[in-house]
Structure 1
Amino acid sequence: FGGSPETPESPLFGAEERRFNRLKMFRKACKLLLRPVGARGLASEAGLAGLQAFEQGMIYLAESVGPSVVSILNLDAAGRTQGQGSGFILSSDGYLMSNDHVVASAAALQVMFMDGRTARASVVGTDPATDVAILRLNNDITSLKTLPLGDSDQLRVGQVAVAIGNPLGFQSSVSTGVVSALGRSLRSQAGRLIDNIIQTDVALNPGNSGGPLVDSSGRVIGVNTAIIQGAQAISFSVPINTAEFVASQIMTYGTVKRGYVGIYGVTKPSPTNLVRTLGHKASTFVEVVQVEPSGPAAAAGILPGDWIIAFNGQALPSLDALYSYMTKMPPNTEATFTIIRNGSTVQNVKVKLGLSPAK
């Protein structure tokens, strides 16, 4: 772009080199802390060195991630605060990521940066089904520092997790912990199950919602979204791979395009003969209660009373499973529903999925 390439003597090269060395030292410290060091425990030389390196790594992590995290005030029409949360900078041109429930029903959004700068933001789009919201700054704010995105599919139980946000209005608070479990399911406020939720023991409080969960390299691995009131050391984050997919859909289309079939149903236990005769592998199935007259299912011939036992060859134990499968399929694609009609006749019905209506 007209400048000379960085050299080992340039300030940029030096900063990157220092960052790499600090992160390398941080990872080494984690290994030292987990390694047995004899009867003297952490008081031993190796343990103490590891603890000090870990501490320095956490300090650097907080200092490098903190400037990318913002506080978000949800204002009513009179300018009064009716809610608050966190968010983080997604791109240098002013896009932010947060939670849908942080920005819901806002007449205006006030964003505050770690360095004291403030700006107004507008909602680009939200996805209540995953509790993800994408915002864009209205003001021309310069020197925005983005956070790199990690790969939540590569997470392992026990690895370090760090949350930075604004719990109870205390700006830029840092909490540390570990990934406690993976693959959890959490029901969003829209009623849909969010799959692959990350469970950690990181201390989260109201106001942390929408802030980043990062790994030891400062890469975003999740978006903090929920806690269980009254519980301790149990918090949940939407995986960044899910949030990144939602963000790309919103920034391209203004909404998330999901497959839609147009049925209402209930989950019922599988009769013994269904399991024995047809080899249905799930203990439950979906019975269709209502079919929307103009929906894709009606066009394909699915009727109230039909039992749906499989979707594209995968056992279908519940409506939540159906929603999860269809999330991965865009509109206008064809899906095969295996149904049982009148309790005996098995049919494979081809359904061309429609576009899920906006909620």
Structure 2
Amino acid sequence: MKKFIFLGVWIVLICVSLYWAVGRDTRPVVEAPLELPLASTVDNPYSHLEGYETLVRMQEAFVTHARTVKRSVVSINNLTEVASSNARSDLFSGEPGTWFTRFRYWLKRTFRKQYQMESLGSGMIFNDAGYIVTNYHVVEGANRLLIKFLDNREYSGQVVGVDPKTDLAVVKVFSFSHFEPPRFGNSSDVEVGDWVMAIGNPYGLTGTITVGVVSGKGRIDLGIATFENFLQTDTSINPGNSGGPLIDMRGHIIGINTAIAELGAGVGFAIPMETVEKVAHDLIDNGEVERGWLGVGIQNMTPDMAESFRVSRHQSGVVVNSIDEGAPAERAGMRQGDIIIAYDGKNVAHPQHLQNYVADTKVGQSVQIKILREGAEQTLEVEIGKYLS
């Protein structure tokens, strides 16, 4: 009997031991972290504020667009050959060293040219064939172009066409590689106050990003180019940014940075992308830019002139002060003293406006020009000719 009692106690002890060793979860208990309000977190002390997520998304957009577009922005450099001393005198000089050493040095100095590199500005890939658009003043007078990409690729480049009247130029890269252009936008969709970014190589600092807003549109009479219709921005544009892109918040290129105002900091200008695309296509396809021609001399309307023409002092328009013989305007019946108030449905308030409208018109196209003559409104049908620079 005692044996059975002892065996039973032994079995119970074994079962209890197995329960504690196997059945019980022996893993340490980990307490749940204390949840603090967002305002108290170290990483995001302002995340509880209204608009915080919007600012974060804006920052992410800047980072994404900078990373994407920078691949299409290049540095344009000029190579100038460094003059070497007289190679013949090096060969026959009495300098120390064996004749073979002098001969090898002579070969190196004679056939291995040395170049000095000067950074000229920026450029942007225009299409996958390796055409690059930049400013005319960037490549003007350059001897030998070296195009450098952000990933340190280097290619020789050649200017295929220039248009000083808009300060634009196209350069071709010599390579069989496929190049990826950025996405192009439309500056007419941009509003004053929109955020924009500029990418370029100011002072030789490759891939520099600056941020600002569109400060104005349709800026004219700046004396930068013949045909002006600039976007104004307070984005920092410094020497070396010329030829680089101006980018909107969708990552689209809306212009090419071209100039800094002498008025002071925070005033820069960019050529609208519509103008860039038209000029670049003309230079690539034809080697020149085709523009429309009306054949008139014009001047701005002043209140005193308006009174002399018996129209309201607040009348907008431009006054025709001369007409070229045989010009499209003459053939259409336009006269000296006519006031042009609209061109192809667009109001004309400044001579530069009319100049730009005519230049952008396809040669041979017929347009309606609304004029005031002796106080009465008339419409003339004009076939636009070709502008010969």
Task: Name the TM tier (shorter chain).
Answer: 0.7 to 0.9
Change beyond 3 A, Cα 1:157–1:295:
closer
Q: State yes or no: 1:129 paired with 2:165.
A: yes
Partners of 1:147 and 1:219 within 8 A in 2: yes
Partners of 2:129 and 2:178 within 8 A in 1: no
Shift of 1:167: 0.8
Shift of 1:340: 6.7
Partner amino acid, structure 1, of 2:234: D
C-alpha RMSD of matched pairs (Å): 3.3
Aligned counterparts, 1:274-289, within 5 A:
274=309, 276=311, 282-283=315-316, 285-289=318-322
Q: Compute the TM-score of the two structures, normalised by the length of structure 2.
A: 0.68
Q: 1: CA distance between counterparts of 2:348 and 2:249?
A: 38
Change beyond 3 A, Cα 1:340–1:146:
closer
Q: State yes or no: 1:242 paired with 2:275.
A: yes
Partner of 2:325: 293
Aligned counterparts, 1:39-188, within 5 A:
43-46=45-48, 54-74=58-78, 84-137=120-173, 139-140=174-175, 142-185=177-220, 187=222
Q: 2: CA distance between counterparts of 1:245 and 1:104?
A: 21
Q: Secondary structure at the match of 2:278?
A: helix
Q: 2: CA distance between counterparts of 1:133 and 1:337?
A: 32
Q: What are the ranges of 5 or more consecutive residues in structure 1 without an aligned counterpart?
A: 1-36
Q: Show CA shifts across 1:254-287 (max 9, x none).
A: 33222102233333423326454xx796345323
Q: Compute the TM-score of the two structures, normalised by the length of structure 1.
A: 0.73
Change beyond 3 A, Cα 1:88–1:315:
closer
Q: Secondary structure at the match of 1:45?
A: coil
Q: Show CA shifts across 1:197-247 (max 9, x none).
A: 322221110110110111233221211111112512221111212322322
Q: 1: CA distance between counterparts of 2:321 and 2:118?
A: 41
Shift of 1:332: 1.4
Partner of 2:340: 309
Change beyond 3 A, Cα 1:201–1:299:
same
Shift of 1:338: 5.4
Partners of 1:88 and 1:97 within 8 A in 2: yes
Fraction of identical pairs, as percent: 31
Instruction: Give the number of equivalent residue pairs.
Output: 310
Partner amino acid, structure 1, of 2:63: I
Aligned counterparts, 1:223-234, within 5 A:
223-234=256-267
Partner amino acid, structure 2, of 1:320: Q
Q: Which has the larger radius of gyration?
A: 2
Change beyond 3 A, Cα 1:325–1:282:
farther
Q: 1: CA distance between counterparts of 2:346 and 2:266?
A: 35
Partners of 1:163 and 1:213 within 8 A in 2: yes
The structure where strand makes up a greater share of residues is 1
Pairing partner for 1:271 from 288, 306, 310: 306
Q: Secondary structure at the match of 1:67?
A: helix
Q: 2: CA distance between counterparts of 1:132 and 1:227?
A: 16
Partners of 1:335 and 1:350 within 8 A in 2: yes
Partner of 1:334: 366
Question: In terms of mean alpha carbon deviation, does 44-53 or 91-100 score higher?
Answer: 44-53
Partners of 1:215 and 1:221 within 8 A in 2: yes
Shift of 1:142: 2.3
Change beyond 3 A, Cα 1:306–1:164:
same
Partners of 1:306 and 1:340 within 8 A in 2: no
Partner amino acid, structure 2, of 1:181: G
